[in-house]
Amino acid sequence: MAAVAAISCAVLLLHLWFNNGYGYFRDEFDYISCGNHLAWGYVDQPPLIPFLARISILALGDSLRAVRFIPALASSLLVFQTALLAHELGGRTFAVLLSAVTIVIAPQYLSNGSLLGTNCLEPNLWMGCVWFAILAIRREDLRYWFWYGVVLGIGLEEVYDRCLRLLDRGGLAVYAGAARSSLPVVLAGWSSRAPGVFTESDLEYQPPLAVSGVDAEHQGGAPDVILPAGQYLLQQMLLIHPVAAPIWICGLVAFLISPGLKSYRLFGWSYLICYAVFFVLHGKNYYLAPIYPILLAGGAVTLGRRLIAPPIPGLNGRSRRSSLAAGQRRLFAPDYGASVEPGSFLVYVRSLPFRLPVMEYSHAQGPNCRNGTPTSSAGRDRRENGSGLAAARSGGTRDCGIFAQNYGQAGAIDFLGSRYGLPPALSGHQTWFLWGPRRYTGNCLIVLDDRREVLERLWWKVDYAGTSAANPYALEQQLPVFICAARNSAH
What's the CA gap between 79 and 64, in Å, rounded?
A: 23
Residue 322 has pLDDT above 80, yes or no: no
Residue 8 has pLDDT above 50, yes or no: yes
Residue 215 has pLDDT above 80, yes or no: no
Question: Which residue would you say has higher pLDDT here, 390 or 326?
Answer: 390
What are the tens digits of pLDDT across the range 225-280? 777 888 889 989 999 999 999 999 999 999 999 998 999 999 999 899 889 988 88
Q: Which of 201-210, 387-396, 434-443, 470-479 has the lowest mean pLDDT?
A: 201-210
Residue 195 has pLDDT above 60, yes or no: no
Residue 428 has pLDDT above 80, yes or no: yes
Question: Which residue would you say has higher pLDDT here, 169 or 263?
Answer: 263
User: Which band of pLDDT confidence, cut at 50, 70 and 90, is reported for residue 33?
Assistant: very high
What are the tens digits of pLDDT across the range 340-378? 677 777 777 777 776 666 666 566 556 554 444 444 444
Residue 380 has pLDDT above 60, yes or no: no
Question: Which residue would you say has higher pLDDT here, 328 or 431?
Answer: 431
pTM of the model as a whole: 0.76
User: Which band of pLDDT confidence, cut at 50, 70 and 90, is reported for residue 487?
Assistant: confident
User: Which band of pLDDT confidence, cut at 50, 70 and 90, is reported for residue 47?
Assistant: very high
Residue 177 has pLDDT above 50, yes or no: no
Per-chain mean pLDDT for the chain:
77
Residue 173 has pLDDT above 50, yes or no: no
Report the 10 Å Cβ neighbour count for 467: 13
Q: Mean pLDDT over residues 133-154, rounded?
A: 91
Q: Which of 93-102, 316-325, 403-412, 448-457 has the lowest mean pLDDT?
A: 316-325
Rg (alpha carbons) of the chain, rounded to whole number: 24
Q: What is the pLDDT of residue 188?
A: 31
Q: What percent of the chain has pLDDT over 70?
A: 70
Q: Mean pLDDT over residues 201-224, rounded?
A: 42
Give the count of alpha carbons within 13 A of 44, CB side only.
24
User: Which band of pLDDT confidence, cut at 50, 70 and 90, is reported for residue 82?
Assistant: very high
Q: Which of 26-40, 312-326, 440-454 has the lowest mean pLDDT?
A: 312-326
